[in-house]
Amino acid sequence: MAMVSLSDPDIILLDEPTAKLDDYNISLTLEAIERVWQNKLVLIVSHDKLLFSVPFTELCLEGGKLR
């Protein structure tokens, strides 16, 4: 996340940013994402359904279809 912040892109793609983190560190990570990149488009790819409870727009890819 630090490397991405240094380049200051308009769109940020995070692939499994909370993988292998405990609940406490997942919470810290999501708070940091919201705080640091509040004016950016952040795309998070995750298999963790707990992330879907945060206030983001969810897109789901199932059977080759995006919904």
pLDDT tens string for the chain (67 positions)?
777 777 888 899 999 999 999 989 998 998 888 888 888 888 888 887 777 666 667 777 788 888 7
The span from the CA of 21 to the CA of 9, in Å, is 25
pLDDT attached to residue 55: 63
- CA geometry: angle at 14 spanning 12 and 17, to 5°? 145
Q: Token pair for residue 8? A: 């200051």
pLDDT attached to residue 13: 92
The domains located in the chain, with CATH, are 2-66 (3.40.50.300)
- pTM tops 0.85: no
Q: Token pair for residue 47? A: 């298999």
pLDDT attached to residue 25: 94
